Homo-oligomer: A and B are copies of this chain.
Amino acid sequence: MNEVAAKSKGDSAQPRKLSRAARRQQLIEATIETIAERGYARTTLTDVANRAGLSHGLVNFHFETKEKLLTETLVFLSEEYRANWVAALAAAPDTPAQQLDALIRADFNPEICTSARLAAWCAYWGEAQCRPLYQEHCGSNDAEYFRAMLGICERLASEGRYGYNPTLAARVLRVTLEGVWLDMMTMNTPYSRAEALTTVYACAAAFFPHHFTLDGPKPAEGA
């Protein structure tokens, strides 16, 4: 992605040919940006191509149809999202509080949580024709995410002897994360990432007060 990003920024430095994969990636990035700026409904292949500094015939050359371009863009977003939280979990210490913290912070990773990506996600959620598509391509990722969240909540619940059903805690945390993302899109005075993070920590602290405060996980504690 760095290679492509670097190339696509420079106005005239475009190499005539890029590897097949790099060119496709460049067009997918342009698609995300176009959806964010113009909306899904008014995104045209010419827009996407122009944004990438290419001619629109090329989009059909690489993706065959507009529909396939939009599908592959969604798949890319979904995989990128998944890879991000999986990596965050792997990098965090294996205590449930640190794992939940990593999962929460992953959602606000500046690489993932850009305004263009938020807008594109929101557009896909809203497109009815995309719903079967979404479930086909992203449903398994969502399910995996929820299992991860649930496993962490179960460990927290047993450690902290909380009275809550961990399934409900996991569900509330997930919808809170989703809702905050949506809020960042629709509010007229959009929050900063820091405010968004505090909101989610407030939720975590409400469910797991032995483990979390508004500032994040407590240093170290048993039950």
Contacts and interface: CB of A to CB of B under 8 A. Distances in A.
A22 to B, nearest CB: 27
A14 interface: no
Given A171-B199, A179-B178, A182-B175, A165 B124 contact: no
A186 B131 contact: yes
A185 interface: yes
A206 B153 CA distance: 14
Q: Would you call the interface of chain A mostly helix, strand, loop, or mixed?
A: helix
A134 interface: yes
Interface string A157-193: 0000000110011011011111110110111100000
A82 to B, nearest CB: 15
Contacts of A119: 126, 128
Given A125-B185, A179-B180, A179-B182, 18 more contacts: A35-B128, A119-B128, A122-B125, A125-B125, A125-B126, A126-B126, A126-B127, A135-B186, A139-B188, A164-B205, A168-B198, A169-B202, A174-B183, A175-B175, A176-B179, A176-B203, A203-B203, A206-B206
19 contacts: A38-B128, A41-B129, A42-B129, A123-B127, A123-B128, A125-B185, A126-B127, A131-B185, A131-B186, A139-B188, A164-B202, A165-B202, A165-B214, A168-B198, A168-B199, A169-B202, A174-B183, A175-B176, A175-B178
